[in-house]
């Protein structure tokens, strides 16, 4: 039982009289009389809480069942639960440890691979303008909404893109501005392995900057009376805050619910910047 010593439990039940005796290691521990139907007897063997059940079946036969009750509150069962909880926690921690180890190995492998790819681009990179096509399509079972292709040394390379969209269903690039068909950015690819390539949406070409400027000016209600001031302001903002600030200006009339990162609130925050206020004042002179 609890200390790993075997015990012999016996039942002697005289069916005519109903007299019953339960023995443990040849010693009587329970007696009862006139037992002709269902009955139950509980007792301890050392620290183990035990139970013998008698059940009368439909055919009149009696069935006997012996069990060690592990869910009742006894010192031994409390100790068992404590040990079980300890091993459960240890098992959970071990599983978490294995999962974390696998995650670290995967992340480490990914970061190492990215390091090699970045190093290859730094040492062997060729930079060229690339136009992005806006087109919903499926590639290898996955949905994409844009792509670009290029050719180097008779080898065709492509990249399928899935960009987020705002509520107006405009595709939003990492620079914060919307993507339209044939928008142009700088692409870097390896001269040794052209399949290693990366587009930088935060590096639009000069042609694309002009395109962006025209789109933003239209949002600023630009006409002949203010085109000089608006161009001056856009130049100053671009040089000071970068292209993401242009996205704040472009989406100045849109709520944050309709466009996540650039909207009316981000535009107002931009315009409250003392440096931006100074630039605008200078442009308005």
Q: Where are the beta strands (DSSP E) in the chain?
A: 9-13, 20-24, 27-32, 39-45, 48-56, 62-68, 125-139, 142-152, 155-161, 171-172, 178-179, 183-190, 197-204
Dihedral over Cα of 220, 225, 231, 237: its sign: negative
Q: What is the Cα–Cα distance from 129 to 200, expressed in whole angstroms?
A: 10
pLDDT at 74: 67
Cβ-based neighbours of 89, under 8 Å, separated by 6 or more: none
Going by C-alpha positions, the residue among 47, 42, 32, 33 that lies closest to residue 1 is 47
3-state helix, strand, coil in the chain (%, to 5): 35, 35, 30
Angle at which helices 227-241 and 243-250 cross, to 10°: 130
The pLDDT value recorded for residue 263 is 93
Whether 134 and 171 have beta carbons less than 8 Å apart is answered as: yes
pLDDT of residue 90: 82
Q: What is the pLDDT of residue 163?
A: 96
**Cα 195 to Cα 117: distance, rounded to the nearest angstrom:** 10
Spatial CA neighbour of 253 closest among 264, 266, 267:
264
- Distance, in Å, from the CA atom of 251 to the CA atom of 267, rounded to the nearest integer, reads 8
**Percentage of the chain lying above the pLDDT 70 cut:** 96
Phi, psi angles (nearest 5°) of residue 122: -65, -40
pLDDT tens digit string along 173-200? 999 999 999 999 999 999 999 999 999 9
How many CA atoms lie within 13 Å of 112's alpha carbon, on the beta-carbon side? 6
What parts of the chain have a pLDDT lower than 70?
A: 1-4, 73-74, 76-77, 80
The predicted pLDDT at position 284 comes to 86
Stated pTM of the model = 0.63
Identify the CA nearest to 178 among candidates 271, 261, 255.
261
pLDDT of 2 reads 46
Q: Return the domain boundaries, the chain.
A: 9-69, 205-285
């Amino acid at each position: 039982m609890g200390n790993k010593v075997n015990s012999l439990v016996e039942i002697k039940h005289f069916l005519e009289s109903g007299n019953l005796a339960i023995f443990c290691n040849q010693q009587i521990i329970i007696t009862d009389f006139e037992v002709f139907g269902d009955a139950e007897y509980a007792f301890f063997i050392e620290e183990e809480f035990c139970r013998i059940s008698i059940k009368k079946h439909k055919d009149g036969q009696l069935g006997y069942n012996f069990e060690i009750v592990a869910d009742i509150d006894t010192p031994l069962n409390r100790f068992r639960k404590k040990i079980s909880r300890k091993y459960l926690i240890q098992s959970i921690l071990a599983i978490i440890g294995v999962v974390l180890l696998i995650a670290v190995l995967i992340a480490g492998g990914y970061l190492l691979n990215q390091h090699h790819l970045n190093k290859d681009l730094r040492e062997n990179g060729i930079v060229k303008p690339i136009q992005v096509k806006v087109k919903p399509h499926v590639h290898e079972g996955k949905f994409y909404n844009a792509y670009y292709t290029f050719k180097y040394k008779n080898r065709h390379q492509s990249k399928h893109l899935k960009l987020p969209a705002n509520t107006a269903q405009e595709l939003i690039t990492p620079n914060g501005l919307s993507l339209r068909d044939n928008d142009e950015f700088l692409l870097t690819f390896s001269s040794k392995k052209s399949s290693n390539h990366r587009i930088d949406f935060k590096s639009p070409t000069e042609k694309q900057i002009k395109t962006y400027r025209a789109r933003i000016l239209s949002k600023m209600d630009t006409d002949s009376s203010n085109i000089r001031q608006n161009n001056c302001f856009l130049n100053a903002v671009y040089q000071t805050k970068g292209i993401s600030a242009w996205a704040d200006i472009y989406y100045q009339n849109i709520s944050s619910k309709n466009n996540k990162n650039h909207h009316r609130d981000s535009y107002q925050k931009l315009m409250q910047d003392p440096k931006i206020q100074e630039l605008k004042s200078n442009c308005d002179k």
